[in-house]
Amino acid sequence: MFNKRVKVKDLLASNDTEREVTVMGWVRTFRNNQFIALNDGSTNNNLQVVVELGLLDETTLKRITTGASLKVTGTVVVSLGKGQRVEVKASSLEILGDCDAEKFPLQPKKHSLEFLREIAHLRFRTNTFGSVFRLRHSLAFATHKFFNDKGFVYLHTPIITASDAEGAGEMFRVTTLPFDAPPKNEDGTINFKEDFFGKSTNLTVSGQLEGELGAMAFSEIYTFGPTFRAENSNTTRHLAEFWMIEPEMAFYDIEDNMNLAEEFIRYLIQYAIDHNRDDIEFLDQRLAEEERQKPQAERSEFGLIEKLEFIIQNKFERITYTDAINILLESPAYKKKKFKYEVKWGIDLQSEHERYLVEKHFKKPVIVTGYPKDIKSFYMRLNDDGKTVAAMDILAPGIGEIVGGSQREERLESLEKRMREMHIPSDEMSYYLDTRRFGTVPHAGFGLGFERMVQFVTGMTNIRDVIPFARTPKNCEF
């Protein structure tokens, strides 16, 4: 069998020496024609492979360049050099793939994140992105473990849909009709009956509505998949294709919803700390170096590890939207006219407002509830005051909104009234209204933007650096 390799991470963690092993990976550095730093992506730490002088001919030595891939068999020995406990003394070495050192973009030096975005197909091989994407994997795995252990059903909601859950209208259309001459109705509109699905369809913006249907049978479900927004936002916080974690729970009210979301966030962070400590420590050091480049006033109060541990150890602050507006109106930032966007009751809180509440006022995550009904979706439960809905957003330091959710409107008449007010056609949503007609129950749910969670745990400041291949306005590479 060709692949009897030991992973570098496992080898470095073991004290078992004087045994023969086979390792495979890519060359990070090769010095003095003797010492190879080999990495296979299982950890940022390289394995030192020692090649005795005379073992390899001159031609082979010249082919051991940064980026080349190797298969090495040898003996694990205690390392005499600094930086590693063990190393491998090579008895045989096979070059699996050559790499032209002059053309290889990833030289052994520091590269900017902007440059690495242009070569996203190779950036996985750097320490920064090795750590980021191992953490992304762990957070995805922890998501499934958290909900599975609580007895939730994982429901695969559709990616192609005929509904717009958010009422946003910023959707990518899915069609097989010809662009140059689509079939038309008599009034000049496009005849979607000729299309593949026989109606206008789009890429999903949320799995929530379908998730609610599942919750009405299984009690508790979650969906975790890609969602799409055709929003022309070229910022460090937005993507056109991103992943959402959306649980929906029957027999939950808004407080149950907040409790679950807070527990979930804490669980994800704890899992990452327990299982990816090396990666978090590396990213903590990276962030500290980045912070030192900033003016003193702009530096973060916490390091990455400090921030994550602080989140685990402290309960989230809970306030109403009205409280939030009052805090902002009384803030020095408002009085000194430092906010770009206006502050008054009824506005949709902007990122600058959210970050002020989290980073300056409370200095910890905040859950805001009781938003005005006019700025929220039709499915959110109307509160007794007739002005606000049982919505909740969780705001996190450095990012702003990371979770959005609500208790859903379970009362048929109230839901139908809201849909009429917001001009949402009830005939197209008849299937959704059926859940209120046939055995309705109080229920709630939320959506967590997975990339924003990965940003929070890794300390990366640009959302394009926490998804393997970013889809943004005017950019769909790889």
**pLDDT tens per residue across span 199-248:** 999 999 999 999 999 999 999 999 999 999 998 888 888 899 999 999 99
Q: How confident is the model over 127-174, as pLDDT tens digits? A: 999 999 999 999 999 999 999 999 999 999 999 998 765 555 589 999
* Strand extents, DSSP E, 98-219: 153-154, 160-161, 173-174, 201-203
Q: Average per-residue pLDDT in the chain? A: 94
Q: Identify which of 221, 238, 218, 222 has the alpha carbon closest to the alpha carbon of residue 230.
A: 238
Name which of 264, 210, 261 is nearest 394 in CA terms: 261
- Mean pLDDT to the nearest integer, 43-68: 95
Q: What is the pLDDT of residue 164?
A: 62
Contacting residues for 244 by C-beta, under 8 A, at least 6 apart: 206, 207, 223, 224, 225, 226, 227, 447, 448, 449, 450
Residue 454 above 90 pLDDT? yes
Report which of 410, 401, 414 is spatially closest to residue 446, judged by C-alpha positions: 401
pLDDT at 235 (0 to 100): 83
**pTM, rounded to two decimals:** 0.94
For residues 419 and 472, give the distance between their C-alpha atoms in angstroms, rounded to a whole number: 32
DSSP string, 377-415: -TTBPBPTTSSEEEEEEEEETTTEEEEEEEEB---HHHH
Residue 437: other Cβ atoms inside 10 A? 9
Q: What is the pLDDT of residue 168?
A: 53
CATH class of 8-105: mainly beta
The residue-averaged pLDDT of 266-285 equals 97
Question: Is the pLDDT reported for residue 17 higher than 70?
Answer: yes
Alpha-carbon distance of 70 to 28, in angstroms, equals 11
- β-pair partners for 20: 75
Flag whether pLDDT at 297 surpasses 80: no
CA–CA dist 212, 429 (Å, integer): 13
- The Cα–Cα gap between 164 and 213 comes to 16
The per-residue pLDDT for range 311-358, each reduced to its tens digit, is 999 999 999 999 999 999 999 999 999 999 999 999 999 999 999 999
Give residue 48's pLDDT. Answer: 97
Closest CA to 391 of 421, 414, 367, 413: 367
> Which residue did the predictor score with more confidence, 398 or 130?
130
**pLDDT confidence of residue 165:** 58
Domain extents in the chain: 8-105, 125-170+205-465
* Confidence (pLDDT) at 399: 81
Look up the CATH architecture of domain 125-170+205-465. 2-Layer Sandwich (3.30)
Say which range, 39-43, 235-239, 382-386, has the weakest mean pLDDT: 235-239
Comparing CA positions, the residue from 121, 100, 156, 201 lying closest to residue 470 is: 121
